[in-house]
């Protein structure tokens, strides 16, 4: 399938899921996950109407940002993969969003390194909602305290939470737990607007639970 067709099919899935959930059709943003696909595929998706792109690996993302520098002002680049605190500088300088902040030190460095000529870097805290030891992210109980600290950093804008639920029978409970945690941040008075939840396989369930941004790779670009 051409990227324009799979992008449209994905947008249709999102719109249908919003209708089923009784949510506004524009309540959920699509982040097209372009990891492992070449810059030419991003260009094609952009021509078909995608604007926000997600990358997992810092070096690969930086190479694509550079290759598509002619479109820079029209694209939004999101880092969704793990970020080590000693690799923050090029991310602070080149990306628009980071979804995978899971410690204060990383957040502090991103804030210090964000150039003053750019708007604040948008960040989400990654939550290890499945509790698997192999997964990155904060424990749910750590989310509110870290969110309070991150919200004070001058060159960051705390947007919300991200998670990668475990596929299978536990997924629905994990989607709900993320929605509850997102509500808990709002109840703290934090001005968060983004619940980054849902991928190709579970975007309908994530939208039903309250996701505001789905990160979709395979369904847009094809199998990796």
Ligand X SMILES: *Cc1c(COP(=O)(O)O)cnc(C)c1O
Residue 56 in the binding site for ligand X (CB under 6 A): yes
Both structure tokens of 168: 């299978």
Q: Are 70 and 46 spatial neighbours (Cβ–Cβ below 8 Å)? A: no
Both structure tokens of 158: 């705390």
**Segment near ligand X (CB under 6 A), from 85-93, 111-119, 144-152, 194-202?**
194-202
What CA–CA distance (Å, rounded) separates 116 from 120? 8
Residue 110 in the binding site for ligand X (CB under 6 A): no
Give the residue, chosen from 23, 29, 35, 176, that forms a contact with ligand X under the rule CB under 6 A.
35
Which residue, 9 or 191, is less far from ligand X as judged by CB? 9
What CA–CA distance (Å, rounded) separates 115 from 31? 24
Q: Which residues 68-107 are close enough to bind ligand X by CB under 6 A?
A: 80-81
String marking each residue 111-150 x if it binds ligand X according to CB under 6 A: ----------------------------------------
Q: How far is the CB of 162 from ligand X (least distance, A)?
A: 7
Q: How far is the CB of 80 from ligand X (least distance, A)?
A: 4
Q: How far is the CB of 143 from ligand X (least distance, A)?
A: 17
Alpha carbon dihedral 81, 96, 77, 108, in 10-degree steps, equals -20
End-to-end CA distance of the chain: 14
**Segment near ligand X (CB under 6 A), from 20-28, 68-76, 115-123, 198-206?**
198-206
Alpha carbon dihedral 206, 209, 213, 214, in 10-degree steps, equals 10
Q: Are 214 and 31 spatial neighbours (Cβ–Cβ below 8 Å)? A: yes
* Residue 154 three-state SS: coil
Residue 192 in the binding site for ligand X (CB under 6 A): no
Which residue, 188 or 218, is less far from ligand X as judged by CB? 218
Q: Are 87 and 113 spatial neighbours (Cβ–Cβ below 8 Å)? A: no
| # chain residues binding ligand X, by CB under 6 A | 14
Binding residues (CB under 6 A) for ligand X: these are: 33, 35, 56, 80-81, 164, 199-201, 215-219
């Amino acid at each position: 399938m051409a990227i324009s067709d799979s992008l449209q099919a994905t947008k249709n899935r999102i719109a249908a899921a919003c209708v089923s959930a009784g949510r506004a059709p524009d309540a959920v943003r699509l982040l097209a996950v372009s990891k492992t696909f070449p810059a030419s595929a991003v260009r094609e998706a952009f021509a078909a109407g995608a604007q926000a792109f997600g990358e997992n690996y810092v070096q690969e993302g930086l190479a694509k940002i550079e290759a598509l520098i002619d479109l820079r002002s029209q694209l939004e680049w999101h880092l969704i993969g793990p970020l080590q605190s000693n690799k923050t500088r090029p991310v602070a300088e080149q990306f628009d969003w980071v979804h995978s902040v899971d410690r204060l030190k990383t957040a502090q460095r991103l804030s210090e390194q964000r150039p003053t000529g750019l708007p604040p870097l948008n960040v989400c805290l990654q939550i290890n909602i499945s509790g698997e030891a192999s997964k990155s992210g904060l424990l749910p109980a750590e989310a509110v305290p870290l969110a309070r600290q991150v919200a004070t950093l001058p060159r960051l804008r705390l947007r919300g939470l991200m998670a990668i639920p475990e596929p299978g029978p536990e997924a629905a409970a994990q989607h709900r737990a993320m929605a509850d945690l997102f509500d808990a941040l709002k109840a703290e008075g934090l001005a968060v607007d983004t619940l980054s939840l849902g991928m190709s396989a579970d975007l309908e369930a994530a939208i039903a639970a309250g996701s505001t941004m789905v990160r979709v790779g395979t369904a847009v670009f094809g199998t990796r």
